[in-house]
Chains A and B, each alone.
Chain A
Amino acid sequence: MGYGLLFDVSKCIGCRACEVACKQYNNLPLDSDLDRRHESTNWDTPAPLTGNTLLRMHYYTVEKGSKIAWRFVRRSCFHCERPTCEAVCFAHAFYKTPEGPVLYRRSRCVGCRYCMMGCPFSIPKYEWNELFPEVKKCRMCAPERANIGAPPACVSACPTRAVIFGDRDALLQEARSRIKNNPSRYENYVYGENEVGGTSLLYISDVPFEKLGMKTVKSGQITDRPVPAYTDRALKWTVSIAAVWGAALTTLYLATKSPDDESH
């Protein structure tokens, strides 16, 4: 079924080693003014991803029982099982690999930014300071690492094993068994199992996902069907409707035409 990642919110200590590793491994520069285009933020305020930051930790203070607690949550590409970016791209620049990662072919990209509009998680970002910008997003360190089963840079850097890498089915089993073995600690929900038809980045958490700024199927904020299922449902009618309409127009033309009329 392909590789995936499992992020355990309860294990993350918010050290941002994964962020640093991602930047270093992918040779990503710091953001310029053009990349950001949003108000400067404090270090602990959720800042969005940019064309130079493909992985970012978002920090939240949540009420846990009577206490206030910090929780840290990973923001990066979900590598959907049926990605919206692939479906909306009219040049087929995005594609889901059998190994799991969703990858981008820069040579085909036209720069229409439909992927950025369509992505249910607002993940793809743009190189606004480039003359011919590329769309940037996490590639799960494929092809060179993920394809041989080696974990991506962020996983290697994680000191608490809050994020682990492996076969998606095995990770799903692992997530379920962690919840089963410790039901008082975990929320009984694997994020990414059903969201937009399933994603390769899975989450389990000890606080409700809604408090971490994530839309869940359970709360009805996000669909459990792949987005391409919706667009395809409309798309498959196009040719037949156009053909019928064309035939109808021709019939109408022939029916209303007067034989002596030559002027237009």
Chain B
Amino acid sequence: MANIGTALEGKGFKSYDSLFGGKWYFRWTPYRAVALGLVGLLVFAIFYRLIRGLGPATNLNDHWPWGLWIAFDDLSGIALAAGGFFTAFMAHILNAKKYKMLARAALITSLFGYLIVSIGVLMDLGRWYNFWRPLVFWGYHSWLFVVLWCVILYLNVQVLQLGHIVFERVNVPKLKKIFDQILPALFVVGIMIACVHQSALGALYIAMIDRQDPLWWSMLLPLFFLLSAFFVGPAMCVVEGSLASKAYKMDFHHEMPLLVPVMKIGMWTMIIYFVLKMVDLAYRGYFMNMFAGTLESNLFLLEIVAGVIIPIILLAKPNEQQTVPRIVTAAVLMVGGLILDRMNVVFTSMGKAMGGHYFPHFIEFSISIGLVSFLLLAYCFMVENFKIFPDEHEHAH
């Protein structure tokens, strides 16, 4: 606060408009009103969960202590936020300048993705007021300890990265200079933490040896989670890009020269992922399990065929022959396949060992859906008030 104060004095404070770069606005549409209603439902659900406790607010039980929030909000949500670190890698580590605008849009979704994941996980903690204790008592022997540190650190790093974008509009030159100077270090640290986090989420399930179905359990789970997050990064950029260009009436074809090469990187990552997964299954002697015809094996096949093999085939054509529908189809399949993979890791693969049954409670759905609605609204607000998308004239050349 002191910084802002001195900065204001130095500039000679004139008006709020000159400080904040004009009035900030938020356009209302029927869809956004619905989203706001869902955020209202989220607030109600959060109060209900906090006042009544986990038992009445969820259908979690002794058989299924982890449910929708872990599978959807945490494991899937974090993987889908991978677009953030993937584009940061392209734009700022490899210094491919044309990806810098893409990285901005991905940073916004990644940051708000992590924010809603943090809220979701906090709701999932039975004694949430104790969330800081692991930081003091150092349960360093747990993969969850690694996850917690990664979430907290990465969230902070991303907020600091956002500073660069915010102070393009908010007129405080001193702060802007600081944020710009620390940016390269933030990108390196951010990507490092994000990669450890993705792997750590997979590593959580190493402890489920002999309980998780061998089609999924492997010592390589952390590597599989990292690789799948890495290839879903470009897929999320395509999905977000096509949705954003629809919503903001921009021409998606202009983005193709940007997106096709990164989807190719995604394709090669998928090939590595697929080969590793098959070799790992064969090495452990469970290769034939996927053809057993059980629910588990069929869902495994669905995840691999629809989420990995078909996208590889779709993307295998030379860059010039790639079309918008082809790329978007591949991206949607990759994203769907990844969500199915995380659902399989949490539910399908554990079914036999856990017994009992579980179907999410209304409140659990409300919180998950409400958090996603909040993410969409926050994204729209950021896009409309800050420089996230490239200017149209940049498209021209």
Cβ contacts under 8 Å, B18 to chain A = none
CA distance in complex: A50, B61 (Å):
10
Q: Write out, one digit per residue, whether chain A residues 37-72 have a CB within 8 A of any chain B CB (1) or not (0).
A: 110000000001111000000000000000000000
Q: Say whether A231 contacts B95, CB under 8 Å.
A: no
Instruction: Return the contact of B130 from the options A48, A109, A223, A233 (Cβ within 8 A).
Output: A109
CB distance from A32 to the nearest CB of B (A): 9
Q: Say whether B219 contacts A128, CB under 8 Å.
A: no
Q: Say whether A235 contacts B184, CB under 8 Å.
A: no
Q: Count contacts on B: residues with CB < 8 A to the other chain.
A: 68
Interface size class of A (residues with CB under 8 A): 35 or more
Please classify the interface of chain B as helix (H, G, I), strand (E, B), loop, or mixed, using the class held by over half of its residues.
Answer: helix
Residues facing A in B114-148 (CB within 8 A) are 124-131, 133-134, 137-139, 141-148
CB distance from A71 to the nearest CB of B (A): 21
CA distance in complex: A126, B55 (Å):
9
**Contact of B324 with A by CB under 8 A:** no
CA distance in complex: A130, B38 (Å):
28
Q: Say whether A118 contacts B207, CB under 8 Å.
A: yes
**Contact of B204 with A by CB under 8 A:** yes
Q: Say whether B141 contacts A242, CB under 8 Å.
A: no
CA distance in complex: A257, B96 (Å):
9
Instruction: Return the contact of B61 from the options A38, A84, A114, A234 (Cβ within 8 A).
Output: A38
CB distance from B336 to the nearest CB of A (A): 25
**Contact of B63 with A by CB under 8 A:** yes
CB distance from B361 to the nearest CB of A (A): 11
Q: Say whether A90 contacts B126, CB under 8 Å.
A: no
CA distance in complex: A112, B141 (Å):
15
Task: Report the number of A-B residue pairs with Cβ-Cβ less than 8 Å.
Answer: 187
Cβ contacts under 8 Å, A231 to chain B = 141-143, 203, 206-207
CA distance in complex: A206, B237 (Å):
62
Selected interface stretch from B187-195, B246-254, B315-323: B187-195
CA distance in complex: A92, B146 (Å):
14
CA distance in complex: A264, B94 (Å):
13
**Contact of B209 with A by CB under 8 A:** yes
Q: Say whether A37 contacts B100, CB under 8 Å.
A: no
**Contact of B56 with A by CB under 8 A:** yes
CA distance in complex: A257, B350 (Å):
47
Q: A92-B137, A113-B126, A231-B206 are in contact. Are A130 and B55 (CB under 8 A)?
A: yes
Q: Say whether B53 contacts A133, CB under 8 Å.
A: yes
CB distance from A83 to the nearest CB of B (A): 11
Q: In the complex, which residue of chain A has the Cβ closest to the Cβ of B147?
A: A90
Residues facing A in B64-102 (CB within 8 A) are 65-66, 89, 92-95, 97, 100
Q: In the complex, which residue of chain A has the Cβ closest to the Cβ of B183?
A: A264
**Contact of A228 with B by CB under 8 A:** yes
**Contact of A131 with B by CB under 8 A:** yes
CA distance in complex: A221, B214 (Å):
11
Q: A90-B134, A126-B65 are in contact. Are A117 and B54 (CB under 8 A)?
A: no
CB distance from A263 to the nearest CB of B (A): 7
**Contact of A181 with B by CB under 8 A:** no
Instruction: Return the contact of A256 from the options B61, B94, B203, B355 (Cβ within 8 A).
Output: B94
Q: Say whether B148 contacts A234, CB under 8 Å.
A: no
Q: Say whether B62 contacts A89, CB under 8 Å.
A: no
Q: A90-B139, A133-B53, A242-B192 are in contact. Are A230 and B184 (CB under 8 A)?
A: no
**Contact of B208 with A by CB under 8 A:** yes
Q: Say whether B210 contacts A223, CB under 8 Å.
A: yes
CA distance in complex: A215, B354 (Å):
14
**Contact of A148 with B by CB under 8 A:** no
Given contacts A228-B141, A231-B141, A242-B196, 6 further A-B contacts (CB under 8 A): A88-B143, A108-B130, A113-B65, A132-B129, A235-B141, A258-B95
